[in-house]
Amino acid sequence: MRQGERSGTPQAADGQRAVAVGCGTERSSPRTAGGRRGSGCSAARRAAERAGLALFCLAADGGVIKSYAKGVGKEMKIVIDPGHSGPVEPGACAAGVRECDVALAIAKLLADQLYEQGHEVLLTRTGDIGTDGLAFRAELANANGADVFVSIHANSAASPAAHGTEVYCYPGSERGRQLAACLQARLVVELNTADRGVKEADFQVLRETDCPAVLAEVAFISNEADRALLTGYAGQLAAAVALAAGLADYAAG
């Protein structure tokens, strides 16, 4: 689903539109990607600066705190797939946290950034979609002629010690592997997670999607430290910034 139009979007120094992120008092002290406490706005600025994206943090009164220049590759039509959908298929669950909710939160932040960069963005869901299943997700990308498909997930394991980030592509897909490598490289840097590498799998959403498709396991919901990243605003934003930067790397490649 394409994001709604915005008015009054701040401009970067080079005249390009910038990512706008609200940093009101309700997000005054989220957990940062490195596990430290701090301003969500500060964490957002650091992540955007490292990723080379333009980002304006808005104070509670709407004032612009600081901006960063960005470089944008070619515009693309991007389908973002927040994995699973509760209550029928919530995905992995741990300590009261559902994978479907974490995936959707990151997906919406990513969609906002990509849309502001000029890409055409479609979400496979914006809430719980019941039992539409996996085929619908691939069909949406194919019917709309998507350039890339990114499915966002949170990993889980029987051992709570398992942690880190991994991105999957379809076996034998050269462009899919290139895309996965770009996203993996950015995610492990921005989130400071263990690099579990790019992997191949015959997942339905990868197999049935015509365009290059990847499935990102951002972090482990079953691991306490990783779960803090997945549930905190700063961690979710860092993941979105990393994915946006990885997509830009792929487009420029």
What pLDDT score does 58 carry?
32
User: Is 70 a member of any domain?
Assistant: no
pLDDT(146) > 80: yes
pLDDT tens digits, residue range 95-133? 999 999 999 999 999 999 998 899 999 999 998 876 567
Whole-model pTM over 0.75: no
Q: Which residues carry out catalysis?
A: 217
**59 within some domain:** no
Residue 142 placed within a domain: yes
pLDDT average, residue stretch 220-239 = 98
Phi, psi of 188 (to 5 degrees): -70, -30
- Residue numbers of the domain that contains 171: 77-252
pLDDT value, residue 129: 74
Distances (CA, A) of 179 to 20, 51, 88, 148, 238: 25, 16, 30, 9, 18
The answer to whether position 42 is within a domain reads: no
pLDDT, residue 31, reads: 33
- Name the domain count of the chain: 1
pLDDT at 184 over 80: yes
Per-residue pLDDT at 248 = 96
The pLDDT score that the predictor gives to residue 61 is: 30
> Does residue 19 lie within any of the structural domains?
no
Strand pairing report for 165-169 and 213-220: antiparallel
Residue 107 is assigned to a structural domain of this protein: yes
Proportion of the chain in helix, strand, coil states, percent, rounded to 5: 35, 20, 40
The enclosing domain of 215 has a CATH number of 3.40.630.40
- Is pLDDT above 50 for 221? yes
For the record, the structure tokens of 200 come out as 């191949």
pLDDT of residue 156: 97
Arithmetic mean of pLDDT over the chain:
77
The answer as to whether 23 is a domain residue is: no
- Digit-coded pLDDT (tens) for 49-87: 444 443 433 333 322 222 222 334 578 999 999 999 877
Beta-carbon count within 10 A of 131 CB: 8
Residue 122 one-letter amino acid = L
Instruction: For residue 101, tell me if it sits in a domain.
Output: yes
Residues of the chain with pLDDT > 70, as a percent, come to 70
Residue 253: predicted pLDDT: 85
